[in-house]
Amino acid sequence: MTTGIDFGTTNSVAAQWNGEYVEILELGGQGLDADWERPGFEKLYPSVVGTSSLRTGALFGWEAKLRSEEAVEACKRLLRDEPLVTVGGRRFAATTAAAGVFRSMATAAEEEAATEIGEAVITVPANATGAARFRTREAARAAGIAVKTLLNEPTAAAIAYAHTMEEDGEFLVFDWGGGTMDATLLLHDDGFFDEKASRGVNMLGGLEIDARLRRMVLDRAPARRTWSESEQRQFALDIERNKILLSTQESVRITTPDGIAVEIGQDEFSAAIQDLISRALDPVEECLDQARIDPSELKAVLMIGGSSQIPAVRDAVAEALDCELVGADLCHPMTAVAEGAAICAAAMDGELKSIIRVVNTHALGTITKDQHGKREFSSLIDRNQRLPQQRKKSYQPSRDGVSKLTVEVWEGDPDRPVDHPDNVKLTELVLTYPPQHSRAAEDGAFDLEYTYSKEGLLTVKATLQKTGHPVLDGEVRVFGDSAVSPEIKNELQKLFSLRTTGREAPRPTHPQPVVAHGAEGRAGSAVASRPTPASLPKSVTAGRKPAAALVVDGSNLAWNGRPPRSAGGRPSFQALQAAIKSLRFKNPERDIHVVVDATLRHDVVPEERPLVEEAIAAGTVVQPPAGTEGRGDALVISIADEIGGVIVSNDNFAPFQKANPWLLDDGRVLGATHSQGLWVFNRRRPNAAVPAGRRR
């Protein structure tokens, strides 16, 4: 079974065709904290690799995003230029970090979704450079995934939509995700998907929008001190999360690491990003102009990518095109690309009847010099040509006596200067003349031939015009299926064997893979096994008494780490939910009772009040009846006393100690600590209450 993978800047998604429909794989969703739980987020796998001082080894996905102190994000965007990145104090190529994300997804698929990712159709931005395409393939192959083809993201989304709606016509795909903005015009005709035009803006996405929101907050609450790396990271996460909330809420309240709260309204946020939205609309106009299509001729406008769902963005696109946009129910902005890739994979495997035709989004050529020595882009295959394409062009040395020539292979825009960022040198090839060859410049004329496959792979060769002799050693595959470089293999092994601390890491707050003893992961990397209750010998578990139930002082945990009420602080029900989720994972055999004060629903922010009320209605949280003496604390103690349970709270329960001396017994109370997204629970003995006569 071939998988479709949307390898995204912010999040990645994997999907498979199960014979009847596309199934989105849920990978690593247990790592979601309550603050980040949103409908559909369990289907996203953050494209992040990181490390934490509280954990050993490299972290990936939600673990890396929410629990890393040092993280490498936007792995896909980094593939454009291949910078070195730091993970766990070591330097790695960006391709290695991306390969780590691919491998961790494949491992999660085996252990959580009971399926394999052996082959995949992987999507790339429509305007991704050849270098980025090559590195994407290399990263996936280094992770043990055979890449059947690279598919442009807008094409994938159109495939998913057309498969659902069975509509023919002109589709415009507005693809604005975490890293890039692409507008692509496609024609769908009875199973054929033909990219007619595509334009885009690199380095314009959710990351730039995050930066704008961050600036808005800091303009009102400038940093008063130097923030630690962990504080900076948490602030960045808060910015991203609140940006998402601003798509559905009228305002958000963002607190800086200095403890200063800033309120940002949806309207002012929309106004602050208008220039970014205008830049994102430019490719739409360029795309329609190139194809000479009037907006009224469009059959559908698909909005994909997280940034496309910002209300101000949708309003701007709808107004610019004077049309109604396709809704998320027919083209899901976060999963449609992976769905289309899975459908393409099924078609390539012969399970579905569909033919996909695409165009190249950048011109391919080489570099020549004019009579003044100025470097110029000489195009062989112009952009927006249907693939596959094969083009040939004649060149000759600029002087006599040349035995070798360096042929530079470039991708980009011939209308821009060679040194423009949109122009990228893919490789250099050495053209060698035979020893008996005449050294006259005119005799050195050769035909340079580029063959560009529908998979986006380029083959280059050159032959002498005079003799037909190959002078590039036959074919040179610039983006071929050669073996993964040993450097990437070695780096990937080092990445997965990182040890960031010299001690055993505390138990994580969400489930980890369980691997049979002695098993190995992909590419031979050893995977440590973790015993589960089912895997332990019966002699160990037989006859064991049930573990004591946990009675959670919910209001106390909801206030954990929050400013006092006098300083404007409020409890967080979502933080309480995260703590309960952690407790359930760490104590799967225990019953858990959660008690909150009757006032909690009124103390939390208005957005959380329905969550509290739903939990009370469902019985997952209880509150004391009206008029109960001692309120929630008394109910917590009563339940724990009745069932012999262990209380989870940081309260001393001083007023109740005399009547309940067992509160001071060892093992009857657990304290709770929340640190950088991690909940830790340790035994604690409340301080004994001071008798009234001894108080001073």
Compute the distance between CA of residue 145 and CA of residue 119 in angstroms, rounded to an integer.
5
Q: Which CATH architecture has domain 545-694?
A: 3-Layer(aba) Sandwich (3.40)
Predicted confidence (pLDDT) per residue in 116-170, tens digit: 999 999 999 877 776 788 788 889 999 999 988 888 898 899 999 988 888 889 9
Residues 250 and 286: beta-carbon distance below 8 Å: no
Given a cut of 90, whether residue 448 has pLDDT beyond it is yes
Confidence label for 355 from pLDDT (cuts 50, 70 and 90): low
Quote the tokens at residue 327.
């809704």
Quote the tokens at residue 548.
């004591």
What kind and span of H or E run contains 156?
Answer: helix 153-165
* 187 DSSP assignment: E
Compute the distance between CA of residue 190 and CA of residue 491 in angstroms, rounded to an integer.
46
Q: How far from each other are the two terminal CA atoms of the chain, in whole angstroms?
A: 75
Given a cut of 80, whether residue 213 has pLDDT beyond it is yes
Q: Calculate ∠ Cα 457-463-469, nearest 5°.
A: 135
Confidence label for 354 from pLDDT (cuts 50, 70 and 90): low
Compute the distance between CA of residue 152 and CA of residue 280 in angstroms, rounded to an integer.
18
Residues 432 and 411: beta-carbon distance below 8 Å: no
Compute how many other C-beta atoms are within 10 angstroms of the C-beta atom of residue 95.
Answer: 25
Say which residue, 533 or 634, is predicted with more confidence.
634
Predicted confidence (pLDDT) per residue in 644-689, tens digit: 999 999 988 888 888 888 999 888 999 998 876 678 888 898 888 7
Q: Which CATH architecture has domain 363-477?
A: Sandwich (2.60)
Task: For residue 594, give the nearest of 607, 609, 580 by alpha carbon.
Answer: 580
Say which residue, 643 or 539, is predicted with more confidence.
643
Cα R_g (the chain), whole angstroms: 30
Quote the tokens at residue 650.
């940081």
| Phi/psi of residue 431, nearest 5 degrees | -95, 120
Task: For residue 342, give the nearest of 555, 123, 40 by alpha carbon.
Answer: 123
pLDDT at 511: 37
Parallel/antiparallel/unpaired status of strands 251-255 and 261-265: antiparallel
Average pLDDT over residues 241-264: 95
The percentage of residues in the chain with a pLDDT greater than 90, rounded to a whole number, is 42
Residues 469 and 434: beta-carbon distance below 8 Å: yes
Strand order through the sheet with 375-381: 375-381, 363-369, 404-412, 424-432
Task: For residue 141, give the nearest of 494, 482, 498, 520 by alpha carbon.
Answer: 482
pLDDT at 503: 35
Residues 657 and 635: beta-carbon distance below 8 Å: no
Compute the distance between CA of residue 284 and CA of residue 419 in angstroms, rounded to an integer.
25
pLDDT at 630: 56
Quote the tokens at residue 255.
């607190």
Given a cut of 90, whether residue 16 has pLDDT beyond it is yes
Counting DSSP H helices and E strands in the chain, the numbers are 18, 31
pLDDT at 419: 86
Q: Which of 80-84, 89-93, 413-417 has the lowest mean pLDDT?
A: 80-84
Given a cut of 70, whether residue 523 has pLDDT beyond it is no
pLDDT at 476: 55
Given a cut of 60, whether residue 613 has pLDDT beyond it is yes
Given a cut of 80, whether residue 276 has pLDDT beyond it is yes
Burial class (CB in 10 A: 0-12, 13-18, 19+), 342: buried
pLDDT at 436: 79
Compute the distance between CA of residue 275 and CA of residue 516 in angstroms, rounded to an integer.
54
* 654 DSSP assignment: G
| Fold match flag (363-477 vs 545-694) | no
pLDDT at 307: 94
What kind and span of H or E run contains 318?
Answer: helix 311-321
Task: Tell me the DSSP string of 98-134.
Answer: HHHHHHHHHHHHHHHSS---SEEEEEE-TT--HHHHH
Compute the distance between CA of residue 234 and CA of residue 213 in angstroms, rounded to an integer.
15
Domain borders along the chain are 363-477, 545-694
